[in-house]
Structure 1
Amino acid sequence: MLSLPEQSESPVNVNVEAPNNAYSILLIESDRMVSALLKSSLERVGYTVNQVFCGESAHNAVMNFKPEIIILDISLPGVDGFSLCQTIREAFKGPLLIVTSRNSESDQITALGLGADDYLIKPVSINILKARIEALTRRVSQLTEEQSPEKIEVGDIALFPQSQQCKVKGQSIRLSGFEFQLLLLLLSNEGKVLTRDQIYNLLLGREYNGLERTIDVRISTLRDKLAKKGMKKTKIETVWGKGYILNGSAT
């Protein structure tokens, strides 16, 4: 179950400002009571929410509803939640948040490696969930507005921010929205060390707690995708104890 505010507070009458844009959310959650609570709460602050209660219907729902945000519980009955996460990510570029009772580190690393943008463990405050959603959409929107040239090219990589396309040595590569923004941030700061604090603030809208591995896993996945397309001149290097740097002329 999700954790609710104290009895003196209403679970829906919370001090959270409505989002600037009425984003549409696809909620994939088998617990109908939890799903109803989330739907009601999110709609109160301006989101449009469509519900799916089983994994078998999830892929068609993504195609039919064309959501801008997906919230997924990987503990759905009758399906492999990780396979579902991967399948959704192959067709969906927007923010994908996992909200589940599965709390092992290996589950979190696997989900993030498959393309999830954030991972929240039940019980979780509805207000925290809203804040995470708004942070992802707000930061990605701001970054896109600030970095919007037609093309950014560094070494083997060419990014086209306006169309959200990425090419490595002329070959197109499929990236999630979060992966694209992460790569855009690195390319826009070529030769500069980006600390984990900076990356967390810019892309996730929160401070790095010193333990979380969200960005580390996403960097690893991004490296693998780029390498499989033949990236050699450009490298995303780890600066131990600090963060990451993109080297556009690595040998």
Structure 2
Amino acid sequence: MSSTILVVDDNNEIRELIEIYLINEGYKVVLAEDGIDAINKLNDNDIDLIILDIMMPKLDGIKACLKIREKKKLPIILLSAKSEDCDKILGLNVGADDYVTKPFNPIELMARVKSQLRRYIEFSGKSDSKNLIIDNLEINKDSREVYVDGEFVRLTPIEFNILDLLIENRGRVLSNRQIYENVWDEPYFNASNIVASHIKNIREKIEINPKNPEFIKLVWGVGYKFDK
């Protein structure tokens, strides 16, 4: 089920530009021209995230954000031509989750949207039971697909099985023997290099910095653990 994004901006060209990029990413889009229109649209639609301009007539983005936060906990990304730190701080203090300065790169905005939606889905319990979302990592166990920052990552069957095994045992250290015998389903005969090679490949595909991994940690002399 695709998420629905409410885009609020008094500039028609900006609204349409954001709408095009969101639709291309598979999202449903609801448009609003100002803060009052946004609150009405929010009441009439099941919205998952709001992209909200600050400088608008009738009801600006700051005041609209405050009103929305009285009843809703969904993520809000503010848009503004102002880049001063005080404006960013004000926006975040009134309840916004992120802040993007105009003129913005639409690709960067899409990345911010995906990031905020992942957190919202994870913490609100709205995720499908077959999907596991951990920070910027999403694993679909039914389709055996893995996504990092919303982008599909191709793992080999062995790599997926290793990742799945480590996640199933989150926080627990598994030895090379345990990993090998569970994944390959055969006796372990000094296959530590084989396991290490596959772990290295997985890290290169899912870690932001494979040399300083956030997910798969090495415990010297013992084995590996999924540390999230």
TM-score normalised by L of structure 2: 0.52
Say which SS state the counterpart of residue 71 (structure 1) adopts: strand
Say which SS state the counterpart of residue 91 (structure 1) adopts: coil
2:18 pairs with 1:38: yes
Match of 1:141 in 2: 121
For 1:52, give the aligned amino acid.
A
2:41 pairs with 1:61: yes
Deviation digits for residues 133-176 of structure 1, max 9, x if unmatched? 1111223434566xxxxxxxxxxxxxxxxxxxxxxxxxxxxxxx
2:2 pairs with 1:28: no
Going from structure 1 to structure 2, the CA distance change for 1:142 and 1:84 (only over 3 Å counts) comes to: closer
Query: Structure 1: how far apart are the matches of 2:90 and 2:26?
Result: 32
For 1:72, give the aligned amino acid.
L
C-alpha contact 1:74 1:85 (8 A) present in aligned 2: no
- Find the partner of 1:48 among 28, 34, 56: 28
Q: Root-mean-square deviation (CA), in Å?
A: 2.0
Match of 2:81 in 1: 101
Deviation digits for residues 100-134 of structure 1, max 9, x if unmatched? 11222111111111110000101111110110111
Query: Structure 2: how far apart are the matches of 1:46 and 1:80?
Result: 28
After TM superposition, list the pairs within 5 Å mapping 1:1-251 onto structure 2.
Answer: 21-142=1-122
Query: Structure 1: how far apart are the matches of 2:110 and 2:69?
Result: 21
For 1:128, give the aligned amino acid.
E
The structural deviation recorded for 1:88 is 1.3
Query: Structure 1: how far apart are the matches of 2:120 and 2:36?
Result: 30
The structural deviation recorded for 1:67 is 0.6
Query: Structure 2: how far apart are the matches of 1:36 and 1:68?
Result: 19
Query: Structure 2: how far apart are the matches of 1:144 and 1:85?
Result: 20
Say which SS state the counterpart of residue 25 (structure 1) adopts: strand
Deviation digits for residues 189-241 of structure 1, max 9, x if unmatched? xxxxxxxxxxxxxxxxx99xxxxxxxxxxxxxxxxxxxxxxxxxxxxxxxxxx
Query: Structure 2: how far apart are the matches of 1:142 and 1:103?
Result: 30
Identity fraction in percent: 31
Query: Structure 2: how far apart are the matches of 1:140 and 1:77?
Result: 29
C-alpha contact 2:9 2:52 (8 A) present in aligned 1: yes
The structural deviation recorded for 1:66 is 2.5
Query: Structure 2: how far apart are the matches of 1:143 and 1:54?
Result: 29
Return 5+ residue gaps in structure 2 as ranges: 126-207, 210-228
Return 5+ residue gaps in structure 1 as ranges: 1-20, 146-205, 208-251
For 1:91, give the aligned amino acid.
K
Say which SS state the counterpart of residue 109 (structure 1) adopts: helix
Say which SS state the counterpart of residue 79 (structure 1) adopts: coil
Query: Structure 1: how far apart are the matches of 2:105 and 2:91?
Result: 21
Match of 1:179 in 2: none
Say which SS state the counterpart of residue 67 (structure 2) adopts: helix
